[in-house]
Amino acid sequence: MSERFTAPPQRDSWFAPLSVDLIVKVFKTTFFHPFVAWIIPLCFRAQNMFWDAPPMLVSIAWASFITLCWMAGVINNRLAFGLPREVDLSEEVIVITGGASGLGLLIAEVYGMRGATVAVLDIKEMENGEARGVTYYKCDVTDKDQVARAAADIERELGTPTVLINNAAIVHGKRLLDMDISEIEKSLATNLISHFYTLKTFLPAMARSEVGGTIVTVSSVIGQVGAAQLTDYAAAKAGISAMHKSLAAELRETHPQIRTVLVTPGQLSTPLFYGVQTPNAFIAPVVEPVDVAKEIISAIDHGHNAAIGMPLYARWVDWYNVLPLGIQAVARRIVGIDAAMKNFVGRNGARHSEKNGGVIQAF
């Protein structure tokens, strides 16, 4: 279920596993959880503490505040994303672009083992050969004719697609002045234009269906902050994020039975960014594809509209653009985001490392 590659070199230290995300996760399951918060006043009461005792009043006030925040979060999600659609995996036909490796392959294998019908579109062969419940279609998603032929084959062999996961991506990792026009065109075609091809091909059938469907767009936090040596990639990811939000607005008005999921991860531990040095492992830890896959699968399974950002900073990165430009510049130098790509070698470097025997397991 995994792809073999050498992990990107990171700054080793005794506190490497510690991150803001881990701290927040611990607090969310303890002091910031309504159930745990109410346990405290109940324990005080079990000790025969009076209701008007200061510790009791403080604990009740805290538990009430946490409960109200939790309820506000539930209401916010309902207002933002609406009601879920019913999902029956035995009836779902899931199409994943770029599903031959990395995050796409992981999602494909999970759904294949769970009984869903999965079609993978990719220009390269699947890393692990054939996977249970997964059908591979060789397809260059930058070619609209190939996408149309693959769609016709899927419709005939598997059924009408109900879930589309636009995951295909490439990274050149070069400075703009070092890139050929052909490389820029290839990057934009794969990372941006292909989304329009697949949506125009698969979305009409979902729109006609009474059960609806789900559109998943895998973008990147780079589309919001940019980074040196990623001009083409950042432009494409910013484009698909804007495209997704506009599409979601259209579908809410015309086809409310179709759900949309926007995924905006930080650096993923996949060969796509092999060699990238994490700018700040505490604030911006490398995200494991298995964690992103869990969130995507959960959103699809429950029929939710969703906006998934991982790690924590990816959910708050919009505030970065509100800061004064001087502070933004200082922040970029502190975290080292524009130096992260200096050691980038990409998938070819991962394959070279595998041939030389330096491999680990990673999703």
CA 14 remoteness from chain centre: 28
Q: Say if CB 119 and CB 161 are below 8 A apart.
A: yes
Q: Is residue 233 annotated as part of the catalytic site, yes or no?
A: yes
- CA 139, CA 27: separation in Å to the nearest integer? 45
At 242, list the tokens: 């804007």
Scored b (16 or more CB within 10 A) or e, 254-265 reads eeeebbbbbbbb
Q: Which of 233, 274, 313, 320 is catalytic?
A: 233
Torsion angle of C-alpha atoms 113, 114, 117, 122, degrees rounded to 10? -50
**Residue 114 burial (CB count, 10 A):** 15
Report in angstroms the alpha-carbon separations of 2 from 8, 232, 258, 296, 311. 16, 28, 31, 17, 21
At 237, list the tokens: 């990811």
Torsion angle of C-alpha atoms 251, 293, 106, 313, degrees rounded to 10? 110
Catalytic residues: 233
